[in-house]
Structure 1
């Protein structure tokens, strides 16, 4: 029942969903608008139930081998002197570069058809399925269609309505790109602040390539989210006045990077993740924003649950979509409560920066994080094993 399933987006969520659908006997197809997998991106955390999902996929050993090996965050002054550090290492979490995780997930779905360089242009639902019109490939009929195509989901726009109905701006914009690997301290994220701005260098211990980070506190800006040239101009203008010496080099290499990424720090809020035979997963459904640090966890667990509930319901999408929503939404709601993370990284005033630096020097910060994760782990329900239950 409902065997043929189209997934829009070869993202972490999309690839994970395809893997588990295939394991459960469905026939997934992925459509991805880029000509190949996007291998760039920042570090993402595999934590909580996502570790169990990765283990059941046989990937956790590889994920640990490719771990970014970052010790923590270092805050510096304009003279590049360290003023505070916080150790973020956590045995209950593994940080891996997004591109490395996507490559592993692709290996786990190498028998799944992917239509690269294409996207969905129109959808028509009926009692028997969904007719999908593509921009380039001939139209095809599927039993179900799942959107895993990010915060600016094309599928969500077609099936649920314009994105302004669902995206909640969080008063910040961020950018990241490749940077000169000689900048910053090895195995640390080095951050420099002026009021409302943060410039950072991410140095993984297992990668020669560094990453540049820029965060800007701002009200909603009017721009085209697909116009990379405009994004680069906005970041160059916003950060050209920073007194920290490495900024010039960071900007030069970041602006030259073809994978330069810029977007609003925002969340997706939806009352329902399904509409008839169409559903959403990953950032398309619930983007918690990069400040949550939970994007990969939510994507892996949500995709696993969606595929598992479809299998448990024998393909009955009405039953499965409802169970998926009710089972996964509590975790999403919890992770969307991002707390003081952004205020710590981007203080609004100089006084706020001084208070932040003083707080970070206290061992209380790391201890509080450990306690919070342990409390969440104790209250979490065991992740269903849909394969064994079948």
Structure 2
């Protein structure tokens, strides 16, 4: 039997969302010893639906053996109705608008990738990388709770606010640009009788929508967005986040007062800025970035699929280089950067979902109330899913 290309390579991945477990899966296929550290005490259950588009995304999912399971867990979402304060429909966008070829809940995807990788990966939940120092032959990592360990490579798959990027590349403000919006999500009892197609209500600079949970129709999910300068708040203070959201939406009509009542009792809230990440180089020595940490745009429609592709390419190029990080990391970036740039360039979903001015809101509503406008929008989202040729990497079949 041939020796796996990455046997003995010690890799630390920060982040157990989507990109991290996907990378752990592929690295194990090539024989690496992989550890994933995650600040949350367990897999996260919040977040929105995510979608995959085009043969490149689907091709990697098929190679991982998860494509059919994801099809079985589809939300069949993507459609959206925009309504006025009396609930009267302004326009409706069909499922092709946002649902892609497959749409699933982020929590379902995350758990599936975790389960696929957990047998051959050491997961450290409730911990962080406190410090990392590159040595002559590796990286010495200090954890918050698990002491000090040595690795050959460290990969930051820890999102827009990446701690690995901050430690190895510099402060967040050097790479993350605030795009003028914040978004939030929470769940509440579905006493409104909402169905699976979200209803969206707008005033200039603010948007709120509600739809039934695809798994449990007795629950409903709220998605909200508002314009704001960059806010300074404690990421770990749930009450402060709830106050910021409530302050932004207090006084609106439609079902907004009821949805804010549900916010007060929500045990978990997703809250973040809409931002764009641009990093001139995705690696520095033995440290590299993957997914949103390297090229993210909050709510960028192709982000999760591109992260899945990136995990496949990163592991594959390291294997093709027999673990030589200088060769493998450079090849990963050269192959993937043009692909990631297709959808990242210029994307700001806030401008579409919550136009800041009264004129902008009226223009959007008029455009998408027309059949031609809807066709143009759907065509533009499909054009981002243009295929790119997937390289073939010879994984150790005995581990598959």
Same fold (TM over 0.5): yes
Q: Distance in 2 between matches of 1:24 and 1:75?
A: 48
Shift of 1:351: 3.0
Q: Which runs of 5+ in 2 are unaligned?
A: 1-5
Q: Distance in 1 between matches of 2:194 and 2:224?
A: 17
After TM superposition, the structure 1 = structure 2 runs for residues 178-217 of structure 1, keeping only pairs within 5 Å, are 178-183=187-192, 185-208=194-217, 209-217=219-227
Structure 1 residues 377 and 116: CA distance shift in structure 2, 3 A: closer
Q: Distance in 2 between matches of 1:346 and 1:263?
A: 15
After TM superposition, the structure 1 = structure 2 runs for residues 332-371 of structure 1, keeping only pairs within 5 Å, are 332-339=340-347, 341-371=349-379
Q: Distance in 2 between matches of 1:131 and 1:338?
A: 38
After TM superposition, the score normalised by the length of structure 1 is: 0.93
Q: 2:42 aligns with which of 26, 36, 43?
A: 36
1:98 equivalent in alignment to 2:122: no
Shift of 1:358: 1.7
Structure 1 residues 73 and 374: CA distance shift in structure 2, 3 A: closer
For 2:236, the equivalent position in structure 1 comes to 226
Deviation digits for residues 215-245 of structure 1 (CA, Å, limit 9, x no counterpart): 111222222333322111111111011111x
1:382 equivalent in alignment to 2:392: no
Shift of 1:355: 2.1
Q: Distance in 2 between matches of 1:282 and 1:374?
A: 21
1:307 equivalent in alignment to 2:291: no
Structure 1 residues 152 and 134: CA distance shift in structure 2, 3 A: same
Deviation digits for residues 267-320 of structure 1 (CA, Å, limit 9, x no counterpart): 111001111001111111111221x21221121111111111111111111111
Q: 1:50 aligns with which of 30, 54, 57?
A: 57
Shift of 1:95: 1.0
Deviation digits for residues 164-183 of structure 1 (CA, Å, limit 9, x no counterpart): 11111101111111133343
Shift of 1:254: 2.7
Structure 1 residues 58 and 365: CA distance shift in structure 2, 3 A: farther
Shift of 1:156: 1.2
Q: Distance in 2 between matches of 1:251 and 1:301?
A: 38
Structure 1 residues 300 and 183: CA distance shift in structure 2, 3 A: farther
For 1:147, the equivalent position in structure 2 comes to 156
The CA RMSD over aligned residues, in Å, is: 2.1
Q: Distance in 2 between matches of 1:328 and 1:53?
A: 14
1:129 equivalent in alignment to 2:138: yes
Shift of 1:105: 0.6
Equivalenced residue count is 387
Q: Which runs of 5+ in 1 are unaligned?
A: none
Q: Distance in 2 between matches of 1:353 and 1:373?
A: 20
Q: Distance in 2 between matches of 1:226 and 1:237?
A: 19
Asked if structure 2 preserves the Cα contact closer than 8 Å seen for 1:313 and 1:320, the reply is yes
Structure 1 residues 75 and 255: CA distance shift in structure 2, 3 A: same
For 2:3, the equivalent position in structure 1 comes to none
Partner-residue secondary structure (3-state), 2:50: strand
1:22 equivalent in alignment to 2:25: no
Asked if structure 2 preserves the Cα contact closer than 8 Å seen for 1:146 and 1:280, the reply is yes
After TM superposition, the score normalised by the length of structure 2 is: 0.91
Deviation digits for residues 125-144 of structure 1 (CA, Å, limit 9, x no counterpart): 11210111111112111111
